[in-house]
A = this chain, B = another copy of it.
């Protein structure tokens, strides 16, 4: 009953060629916008494509072409570490948006960062030709061994918020955490604070360390030594914020400003402070980093620094596609670069001048 006696199943390029009376190669040309095709022929082919409802089989196209048009986005999954779902979602959304624009697909992949086979799990993706490039999020964006292996395979990579060492091995995108820490400290200093508390995050988490050193730099400029600030270490969770803050506030010398390495801990701090009857921000200013959704929902709304996650994810895709294309034209490898996207201190109500 069909229009023509073509083979069953999905139409292939040959079906289109047959129907439009040209060679397979010609169909391929019009499909790929190649030059040198008479307009009349192009139309004929297009009509056949339309009539047959033909769709190229990417699987085949890429086998022939040696590419996949797929980008891998790698992120860590330990325990059920929900804490970062906000972070990853943001990056992913941005990446997805950019992908849609440039015609790539996004393959998600979680890897247990403590697994011994973490590196091979990731390499497998590129060795098996499942993707053309990788976007690495922390902590993988700092894994120099991994980066080296990827480099050896000539696989385009873009790191999200890589550390200094990693920045020398691959391109990256992120905010300038040191400056963010610096600015936040400046803001608090300017409010009049002199007694600081700082809750650090997990050891080895580079962004957080950077924020801390930026913070220290601002303090140093204001003549405050590191030894004058009460620092504690949490693990980025709400609970750890609650606990470290409770301990810190029972201290003889209570700070007037408490800076937390991320919002979840800041919210925990808020919770702890409320519990012992402190008024925020009158009795204690508390600020965080990240601008998670909670931070503006909590009472009082949290002063924090916003990191444009979607923009970062978006930019990462742009950068990697650029590298992939460059690799194709073989016009020499693109120089490494690190794009810093602007962060923003968002002032809400959890910080005010001391004893305000």
Contacts and interface: CB of A to CB of B under 8 A. Distances in A.
Contacts of A89: 82, 85-86, 88-89
A299 B299 contact: yes
Given A127-B55, A129-B58, A96 B80 contact: no
A164 B287 CA distance: 47
Interface in A87-111: 88-90, 92-93, 96-97, 100, 105-110
A316 to B, nearest CB: 14
Contacts of A294: 293-294, 297
Nearest to A296: B238
A280 to B, nearest CB: 12
Nearest to A61: B128
A87 to B, nearest CB: 10
A31 to B, nearest CB: 12
A274 B271 CA distance: 16
Contact of A297 (B62, B92, B271): B271
Contacts of A127: 10, 55
Given A89-B89, A128-B55, A299-B299, A96 B82 contact: no
Interface string A63-77: 100001010010001
Contacts of A68: 59
A68 B108 CA distance: 15
A284 to B, nearest CB: 16
Contact of A96 (B59, B108, B296): B108
Contacts of A83: 293
A60 interface: yes
A124 interface: yes
A62 B70 CA distance: 15
Q: Which of A59, A93, A96, A100 has the most CB of B within 10 A?
A: A59
A106 to B, nearest CB: 5
A22 interface: no
Given A128-B57, A297-B271, A97 B85 contact: no
23 contacts: A56-B128, A57-B63, A59-B63, A59-B68, A59-B128, A59-B129, A59-B130, A60-B63, A63-B63, A73-B108, A77-B93, A77-B97, A80-B310, A83-B293, A85-B86, A85-B293, A92-B108, A106-B108, A106-B109, A107-B108, A293-B294, A297-B298, A299-B299
Interface of A: 10, 55-60, 62-63, 68, 70, 73, 77, 80, 82-83, 85-86, 88-90, 92-93, 96-97, 100, 105-110, 124, 127-130, 238, 264, 267-268, 271, 274, 293-294, 296-299, 310
Query: What 4 A-B pairs are tightest by C-beta distance, nearest first?
Result: A85-B89, A55-B127, A58-B128, A59-B129
